[in-house]
Structure formats: C-alpha cells, structure tokens
Amino acid sequence: MVLSTRYLFRRLLRTLEIETVCDVGSMDGSDALLFRRMLPRARIFALEANPWNFALMEADENLRRSSIRIFPLAASDRDSHAPFFVAKADYRRGRGFRRGMSSLHKRADESLLAEVVQVRTVRLDSLLAAELLVDRPVALWIDTEGMAFEVICGAAASLRFARMLHVEVETEPIIGADQKLLRMSRAFSPTRDSPC
C-alpha cells in the first residue's frame, strides 16, 4: 500500500490540534485551501516569493474567502533580501508545473530562467514571532525548490512547537550546485549544535 504524504498530513491536522499551518512555497494556494477544509478556524499562512504566482494568489477569490493570509516572502535562514530566479512558465491560472520551479537558487539550466527579481527573505521563526504565534501548535508544509535546509535552519525555534513537518527534499542537485541535499539534512538537528 502506498500512502500519500499529502493525504496523511491533511488527516493529521485535526488529530494533532494544529492552530496554524504554514504553506511555504505555496505556488497557487491549492494546498492551503486543502488545509483550510480540515481546519476551519486555524490560521493558514501561504508564502510565495514568485511575483507572478503571488499576483494570481492575491486575485484568487477562493483564498480570500477562505481567510488564507498570503505573504510575498521567500522562507530562508535569514531576514533579508535576495535574488530570486523566476522560471519560464505559463503563469495563467492552472497552467503547467514550471510555475513551481522558481527558487532562491540559480538553476544549472539557464534556459529555464525568465528573470531575476529581488525578494524579501524571512525566517519562519521571525514570521511566527511577529504574528504572536510562539509556543502555539503549528504545522509546516515546505516545498521551496532546493531551500529546505535553509528554511529549517530559519525555523529552529519554531520546531519546538511544530507538531508536523512535511518537507520536499532533493537527493540529487537538480536545482543548483550549491543546494543542500537530503543526506546533508540528516546529519544535524537544528535545535542542537548544527551548521545553521
């Protein structure tokens, strides 16, 4: 039997009494909407740094009606600004998987690059503290195109009260030469001595 981690995550939201869900690297808010169905009264945050995707999310009535807060931010290990490499894609609603391929990492295949924009980066610790959500049950859904290691480093304090963590990681450097891979993340705990 193959179990979908998306299904499992959704089902456990109620069981674990999650109060806040962060959809990090949201792309279009579709996962955030699934989380809202499971948790009608929770805070749902969707972070999306790609300006084209963010504009579509801002215009999406379903997200607004569902009280999903969207942020034009790239989660990372520092509160700063950074170049963001926007992938060539058809950014009309519902068009193509490349909409989710933009990253803080420059892709090795430059033919996929549409433009480079400056974005604000944020540590999840900083965001949750600013929203006065420290020590409240949170679930993190992370799909950040090669930045998972840095996102987790930026959430080191939040992991103490995270009840669920779902992270997309790569086993090969398919995004950029400097991305951290799964084997690197297994070597540390961000709540103890770590390279963060």
Which residues have C-beta within 8 Å of that of residue 181, sequence separation ≥ 6? 169, 170, 171, 172, 173
Tell me the sheet residues that pair with 83: 118
Residue 13 domain-assigned? Answer: no
For residue 5, the model assigns a pLDDT of: 87
Tokens of 112: 């996929």
Q: What is the pLDDT of residue 35?
A: 97
* Adjacency order of strands within the sheet including 138-142: 68-71, 43-47, 20-24, 138-142, 162-167
Distance from C-alpha of 67 to C-alpha of 51, rounded to nearest angstrom:
20
Tokens read off for 161: 């009260």
Q: pTM of the full predicted structure?
A: 0.88
Task: For residue 145, tell me if it sits in a domain.
Answer: yes
Q: For residue 6, is it within any domain?
A: no
| Cα–Cα dist 136/148, whole Å | 22
- Domain count for the chain: 1
Q: How far apart are CA 32 and CA 159, in angstroms?
A: 20
Q: What is the pLDDT of residue 109?
A: 85
The single-letter code of the amino acid at 20 is: T
Q: Which residue carries 């779902």 as its tokens?
A: 166
41: exposed, middle or buried (Cβ count in 10 Å: 0-12, 13-18, 19+) = exposed
pLDDT at site 134:
87
Rg (CA), the chain: 16
Q: Is residue 72 part of a domain?
A: yes
What is the span of the domain harbouring residue 29? Answer: 18-185
Distance CA 133, CA 139 (A): 12
Residue 109 lies in a domain: yes
* CATH number, position 111: 3.40.50
The pLDDT of residue 107 is 85
Give the per-residue pLDDT at 64: 97
pLDDT in 10s for each residue of the chain, 196 residues? 456 888 899 889 999 999 999 999 999 999 999 999 999 999 999 999 999 999 999 999 999 999 999 999 999 999 999 999 999 998 886 677 788 889 999 988 888 899 999 999 999 999 999 999 988 999 999 999 999 999 999 999 999 999 999 998 777 766 766 766 656 555 555 545 455 6
What is the helix (H) or strand (E) element at residue 20, kind and residue range? strand 20-24
* Res 4: pLDDT: 85
Residue 196: inside a domain: no
